[in-house]
Amino acid sequence: MSDDAMSQTSKSPTDLESLARELMSAYEEGRMVDVPFSARAGFDLDTAYALEARLKEMRRAAGHKAVGRKVGYANKAMWRVLKLETLVWAHMYDDTVHSSNNNSATLTLAHPRSLKIEPEIVFGLKDSVGEGSDAAGTLAATDWLALGFEIIDCPYPEFKFQPSDFVASFGLHAALVIGEKMKVHPDLIPKLVEELSRFKVRMSRSGEFVEEGSGKNALKSPALCLAELGAAIARRFPDQPLSPGEIVSSGTLTAGHPTAKGDLWTAAVEGISLPSLTLQLT
């Protein structure tokens, strides 16, 4: 079969369905996907988003509602390396997004494969976010923000994948744990615009310091990352904008750190009025 014919076949509805079944089975059973989809003929970012949409339908049919979206590649240096025009995203669900109790949580994952933990700023929206928003505009559309832990689970060997693989595999999303929510009142917005671009976060595991990150690591500010996400979604899917009620996990503030059962993680922030968040993996 020619490369062109293989490309057309890989994008056919029948083949998309088989890819969806393969990925969903691996997700539910905790199995690896030995050959990343990007290594298969004709699989590109457009196909990945079509597959992500099919997986969303499958999750809905199983009784799970999409509650928001998570960001990938909130780093413009990576865009140049990977030939991306913007960041990428995938949906999160009602059984994968969790609230902490007094800024402490325990989390059990049924079928972990290759886990990493990332501290992120999480937004809850009260209005749509589309093209043309700046940091202040996105905060005006925000009901609340919080510190969160994103747990990612990579189904690909040695954590090697392309952006299309990321999108197709739920954005590597395994879970999101949300800390105490700060209500975004209009009079707080100018201060938050400044703080989100410069605050610090310190990650510790079982009391041992691991890494310090900053708000600037997510496209110079998590608020700007949210604006970029809203614009990117509006361009690709104008009928599916970021909407009121959605939760957005806006990109990691440090490197992702390998984690496993028994780890106790703490993220402590400086320069913004958010409390520390602690997570125990059980």
Mean pLDDT of 84-109: 97
pLDDT at 56: 97
pLDDT score of 4? 39
**pLDDT above 50 for 251:** yes
* 3-state SS, residue 125: strand
Q: Does the pLDDT value for residue 247 go beyond 60?
A: yes
Give the Cβ contact number of residue 195 at 10 Å: 18
| Alpha carbons 115 and 100: distance in angstroms, whole number | 20
Q: In the predicted model, what is the mean pLDDT of the chain?
A: 93
DSSP string, 44-78: -HHHHHHHHHHHHHHHHHTT--EEEEEEE---HHH
pLDDT value of residue 5: 36
- Report the distance separating Cα 11 and Cα 34, nearest Å: 20
Task: Return the exposure string of 224-251: e unless at least 16 CB atoms fall within 10 Å of the residue's CB, then b.
Answer: bbbbbbbbbbbeeeeeeebeeebbbbbb
* 18 residue type, one letter: S
